[in-house]
């Protein structure tokens, strides 16, 4: 157990009441040596008990001391004083009241001890139930986290499947033109493909093979229209590159090309960084 477990378990109260088992005493003394906060709690409990007992103490009335010394000094006259007036016998009544108060104090102390033991038992029971509840709570949270992770992956796979189905429909559409873009002389192993629907003017890009760019770089697609490059947008790499990516629309084009630009794209292509290019068939 950690320090907080010892403080809230009720073992300290059992220890101070003198009813802790030997095992509990050993465990608590070891915890006091290991955890300063446990030792401080034990000391605080001890001071509180002493303060409570001192608070319940009863100071004798001022006249009792005077009466006792008077009787000791006049011991030979005790028999004569047997017939003294009722006022002179008042100290004996005070002693009787003290005895009554002493009995009341013992009764209060007994009730307090019973209540203390009952409180300790309840603390012990509720502490064990709290530990059991915490174990079940941790297991529930672990299962909930696992379920959320599975659900998240399931949604991801579902989204990917829908994207693949959409890609297949686009590729198989007879209106869509397939424009292969092989690598240039500087990058002969690069390869990408454009799928263009002249009717809807929609353009889709499929990355077949392009190296991952630096963190501050990004690939950009261009349409060559009447000999001039037209920006078709930047696109992502990684897992997204394996699917068709929707680019900007164009009404007409003679060819398409991909260059590597600064992240976010450029206003005009960097020709020495052209990785792939391909003419539209026909």
Alpha carbon separation from 51 to 15, 18, 46, 101, 119 (Å, rounded): 18, 18, 9, 19, 20
* CA distance linking residue 176 with residue 150, whole number of Å: 37
CB 193 within 8 A of CB 170: no
Helix (H) or strand (E) holding 277, with range, is strand 274-279
- Mean pLDDT, range 56-76, rounded to an integer: 59
Structure-token match 């003679």, residue found:
254
Q: What is the pLDDT of residue 162?
A: 72
Positive or negative torsion for Cα 155, 158, 164, 170: negative
Residue 34 has pLDDT above 80, yes or no: yes
How sure is the predictor about 84, in pLDDT bands with cuts at 50, 70 and 90? Answer: very low
Question: What value does the mean pLDDT of the chain take?
Answer: 78
pLDDT of 113 > 90? The answer is no
Element (H, E) at 224: strand 217-225
82-103 average pLDDT score: 46
Phi then psi for residue 143, to 5 deg, are -65, -40
What's the confidence (pLDDT) of residue 96?
47
Is a pLDDT exceeding 60 seen at residue 169? yes
Least confident of 25-29, 213-217, 261-265: 25-29
Q: Can you give the pLDDT at residue 67?
A: 65
């Amino acid at each position: 157990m950690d320090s907080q477990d010892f403080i809230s378990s009720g073992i300290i109260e059992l220890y101070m009441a003198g009813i802790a088992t030997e095992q509990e005493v050993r465990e608590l003394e070891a915890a006091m040596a290991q955890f300063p906060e446990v030792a401080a709690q034990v000391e605080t409990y001890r001071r509180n008990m002493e303060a409570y007992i001192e608070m319940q103490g009863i100071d004798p009335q001022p006249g009792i001391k005077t009466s006792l010394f008077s009787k000791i000094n006049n011991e030979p006259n005790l028999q004569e004083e047997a017939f003294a007036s009722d006022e002179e016998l008042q100290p004996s009544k005070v002693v009787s009241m003290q005895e009554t108060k002493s009995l009341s104090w013992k009764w209060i102390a007994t009730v307090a001890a019973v209540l203390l033991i009952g409180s300790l038992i309840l603390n012990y029971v509720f502490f064990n139930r709290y530990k059991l509840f915490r174990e079940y709570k941790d297991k529930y949270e672990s299962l909930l986290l696992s379920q959320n992770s599975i659900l998240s992956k399931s949604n991801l796979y579902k989204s990917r499947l829908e994207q693949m189905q959409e890609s297949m429909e686009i590729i198989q559409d007879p209106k869509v033109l397939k424009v292969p873009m092989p690598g240039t002389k500087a990058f002969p192993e690069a390869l990408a493909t454009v799928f263009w629907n002249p009717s809807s003017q929609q353009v889709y890009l499929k990355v077949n093979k392009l190296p991952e760019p630096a963190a501050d770089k990004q690939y950009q697609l261009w349409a060559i229209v009447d000999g001039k490059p037209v920006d078709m947008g930047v696109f992502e790499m990684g897992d997204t590159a394996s699917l068709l990516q929707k680019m900007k629309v164009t009404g007409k084009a003679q060819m398409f090309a991909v260059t590597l630009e600064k992240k976010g794209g450029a206003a005009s292509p960097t020709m020495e960084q052209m990785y792939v290019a391909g003419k539209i068939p026909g």
